[in-house]
Structure 1
Amino acid sequence: MQRALAGLGPGPLEAQLSKLTHTVFQYYQRRPWLSRTLLKESLFADEPWARKFTAQVGRVHGALARLAEEASAQGELRPGVDGALFVVAYFSFFYFALISWVQGAHGAPVAMVEHLVHHHLEGLRPIKKSPRRRDR
């Protein structure tokens, strides 16, 4: 996860999230049985592993929240968008796609995440003002 986050580079938030999603799912898709085990164990782990998994998710959450807040500061998202809450939505999309893929219910999890993120971001982008018409 650290390498995946470090490899994002600059760019629009949607592109960065797409790159992260691709990178992580490439890892999972090369190791489907390990991925299933990791998912199961991370969701229902006992200590000390529960604390380790929670800490890893917290680090990723913090990094992505900073990216969302930067996107808001740069005008890519409306002012005041809560980056931490946006990342909760991203994680829900990501985990739903991961669980669906692991269960064999959805064969294109990356496309699913990208589609959901795109639609969510559309609702958070600045509202474009239409040019005023002059009445003659």
Structure 2
Amino acid sequence: MSYRTITIATLFGVAAVTLTGVAPNASAVVTRMGVMPDSNYGLATNYGTDCAATAEAYVDNAAEPVSFYDNGVLLGVVRPLGGIALFTWFPATTGPHTLSAVQAPDVTPIATVDVRVGTGVHVGFACLVFGS
């Protein structure tokens, strides 16, 4: 094999790797989900009505928007920063809630998180949560 043949093969290999790295990721999936209670505290649950909590969706595509749902009802759409999309959630009702998120072009949630919501009482910057 000649030096010229090896150089041409190397160039084609580098071009293939470069094009693969530049091509957009066709998939866009929420790989995992969580929810942080922020400054809320309760004995049975840390999530209260009208108290802010932060839903987080870990995604494999940092460009596509993420849609957040509460019990199947759309809450809002945000763009991820890096591999995480954050959404501030204010639960409106007590009881069980399933939070989910999808990233376009997906329409079926893969990652979900279940939380129970009690009655929230604002105390300064925090919320006390009763019941649930």
* TM-score normalised by length of structure 1: 0.26
The structure that is strand-richer by fraction is: 2
Higher gyration radius (CA): 2
The structure that is helix-richer by fraction is: 1
Structure number with the bigger relative contact order (C-alpha 8 A, sep ≥ 6) is 2
